[in-house]
Chain A
């Protein structure tokens, strides 16, 4: 009897994970030549020279660091010493603020573009030019006009997540089946009712696809944005730990960024299933 597909896949995943850890461990454990030196000098030189240890932390180091962070993820001991949990909360809050603002803008404008071929044509050149601009290119302009680094980061999230939602909303609205609109017309539904009861549910799967793409992009961009604006957030944490030369912390942060990104994506996937319909 063969085990179910999910189980077999899980076994392979686990084997790959173990293999990765083993390779990582072997790659970082090798001891190089050690030098005898003055203990004071040895302190300055670090363990690479004195104990022949690799400069790259091994899985054990990272594991221990994760454990240490898990003990107290939300501590706050001043500007440059905050728990990784707090930093993640800052980043998630920024992403959600910018993202929800973008959603609030993208839905009505997307409806407008989707329902009016005139507005679709009129707005098209703006969208085509603004869409390919790297969100970080807006940063100086945002800092100069807004004069607040945290709000500037939110603006950058807004500008990067608005496009997929806008275009998908417009596409979803424009491609609502004629027959459903005809039903709404023969039922003498008012425009607002048609928009809410027919067009929105019909376009919802397409809109949600845009929202899922957007949240992914927003989470990618926040790290870079926070490296620039500094102060708080997981992006700043990564850069700060790089300045501290704590590669272990950088690795822990990378893992956290991946996990949170996955959670956000899964959340959107769940929402997608809620609004999906079989036709």
Chain B
């Protein structure tokens, strides 16, 4: 098993409260790891600090306690090695689609000549099928096209890590599906380590190798890591036909609807060694029902694949 490429250790983030009375602990002792080339999705309700975790990974925010190691180094600030696809596309409206990508490329390669920057940017616009709209301003592009430019901008700097903050949440279902397919293709082709925040269970099941489940806030934590037991060559169309689809989906649904709240109310359920349980929901193979839990990970050690019954480590 590959070693952790991103490793978050006991992250906590506290914000001063608006009333001025004390601090609000959004999440506490969050631990997780993502292997190189792996696609991880973070799923949880609004307000549990998902975006803050992504911002910490991006280097845009600092944890109050704990730290993240990425590619063997402490994250101390933003880096061109970690590209971010923002929720609201965050394109510069005064630049054309091409100009937006060029800005990123020339930041990555300050020594490149204009022509080379342009060619490189065009290549990545073509990758997201926008080479025909390169000269258009963001205001002239549809929501899906804007997000494609955002994707091209992130990919054009050829990052080792791709961080996505609910990139498709503002798009309609059809556009979202098309973009998900592209992310699948791009991830297959370039294999960056990917970390994505989403609300959409099907999106997580399609894209992610591993799904991190976060409890409700305040003082949220990552309660479980779901390993995606669907075949690697899954497609959006075939996804729901696999026998493991419903066990996985039900498990995630159950977590989001009920357990994320229950766990938040019982902080004592938190794993003693702080590492979330690894669960591989699949069609029943033994007496244990759909979900089978792997023993809690030891610090710094990945799942060993050993099957144990029970849902969460603290039970």
Q: Does B90 contact A279, Cβ atoms closer than 8 Å? A: no
Q: Which residues of B contact A182 (CB under 8 A)?
A: 58, 60, 84, 86, 90
Q: In chain A, what residue has the closest Cβ to B58?
A: A186
Q: Mark B290-309, 1 if CB is under 8 A from A, else 0.
A: 00000000000000000000
Do the beta carbons of B58 and A187 come within 8 Å of each other? no
* Residues of chain A with a CB closer than 8 A to B108's CB: 187
How long is the Cα–Cα vector from A188 to B82 in the complex, in angstroms? Answer: 10
Interface contact B137-A186, CB-CB below 8 Å: no
In Å, the complex CA distance between A278 and B78 comes to 29
Knowing A179-B88, A278-B93 are in contact, say whether A197-B103 is a contact too (CB < 8 A). yes
Residues of A within 8 A of B157 (CB): 187
Query: Are the C-beta atoms of A180 and B90 separated by less than 8 Å?
Result: yes
Proximity string of chain B (66-96) to chain A, C-beta cutoff 8 Å, 1 when within and 0 when not: 0000000000011110111010101011110
> Does B139 lie at the interface of the complex (its beta carbon under 8 Å from any beta carbon of A)?
yes
Whether the pair A279, B93 counts as a contact (CB closer than 8 A) is yes
Q: Is the CB of B59 closer than 8 A to any CB of chain A?
A: yes
A189 at the interface (CB under 8 A from B): yes
Write the B137-151 contact mask toward A (1 if CB under 8 angstroms, else 0): 101000000000000
Count residues on chain A whose CB falls below 8 Å from chain B CBs. 20
Name the CB-closest residue of A to B55.
A182
Which residues in A have their C-beta under 8 angstroms from that of B104? 187
* Cross-interface CB contact of B79 among A188, A204, A278, cutoff 8 Å: A188
Q: Is A41 an interface residue (CB 8 A)?
A: no
Chain A residue contacts of B190, Cβ below 8 A: none
Which of A185, A187, A197 has its CB near the most chain B CB atoms (within 10 A)?
A: A187
- Decide yes or no whether A277 CB sits under 8 A from chain B: yes
Q: Is the CB of A202 within 8 A of B92?
A: yes
A185 to B78, CA, bound (A): 6
Q: Does A62 contact B (CB under 8 A)?
A: no
Question: In the complex the two chains form, is B93's CB within 8 Å of A183's CB?
Answer: no
From B60, B88, B93, A186 is in contact (CB under 8 Å) with B60
Does B288 touch A at the CB level, under 8 Å? no
Residues of chain B within 8 A of A177, CB atoms compared? 90
Our pick among A183, A197, A201, A275 for the contact of B90 (Cβ within 8 Å) is A183
Asked whether any CB of chain B lies closer than 8 Å to the CB of A139, the reply is no
A180, A186, A197, A279 pick with most chain B CB within 10 angstroms:
A186
Interface membership of B107, Cβ < 8 A: yes
Residue A198, interface by CB 8 Å? yes
User: Which of B58, B60, B107, B157 has its CB near the most chain A CB atoms (within 10 A)?
Assistant: B107
Known contacts A187-B80, A188-B78; is-contact A277 B137 (Cβ 8 Å)? yes
Residues in A neighbouring B92, C-beta threshold 8 A: 180, 183, 198, 201-202
In Å, the complex CA distance between A187 and B79 comes to 7
* CB-CB nearest in chain B for A189: B107
Residue from the list A179, A193, A201, A278 in contact with B137, Cβ < 8 A: A278
- Closest-by-CB residue of A relative to B80 is A188
A194's nearest neighbour on chain B, judged by CB, is B107
A198-B92, A277-B93 as given contacts; A188 in contact with B107, CB under 8 Å? yes
Complex Cα distance A277/B59, Å?
Answer: 29
A183 (CB) vs chain B CBs: closest residue: B90
Bound-state Cα–Cα, A185 to B80, Å: 9
Report the Cα distance A275→B78, complex, angstroms. 29
Q: What residue of chain A has the Cβ atom nearest to residue B90's Cβ?
A: A179
CB distance from A62 to the nearest CB of B (A): 46
Q: Beyond A187-B108, A187-B157, list 14 extra A-B contacts (CB 8 Å).
A: A179-B90, A182-B58, A182-B84, A185-B59, A185-B60, A185-B77, A186-B83, A187-B80, A187-B104, A188-B78, A188-B107, A198-B92, A204-B94, A278-B93
Chain A residues engaging chain B, CB cutoff 8 angstroms: 177, 179-180, 182-183, 185-189, 193, 197-198, 201-202, 204, 275, 277-279
13 inter-chain pairs at a CB distance below 8 angstroms, sorted by A residue, are A182-B86, A185-B78, A186-B80, A187-B80, A189-B107, A193-B107, A201-B94, A201-B95, A202-B92, A275-B94, A277-B93, A277-B139, A278-B93
**5 closest A-B pairs (Cβ-Cβ)?**
A278-B139, A179-B90, A187-B107, A277-B94, A185-B78
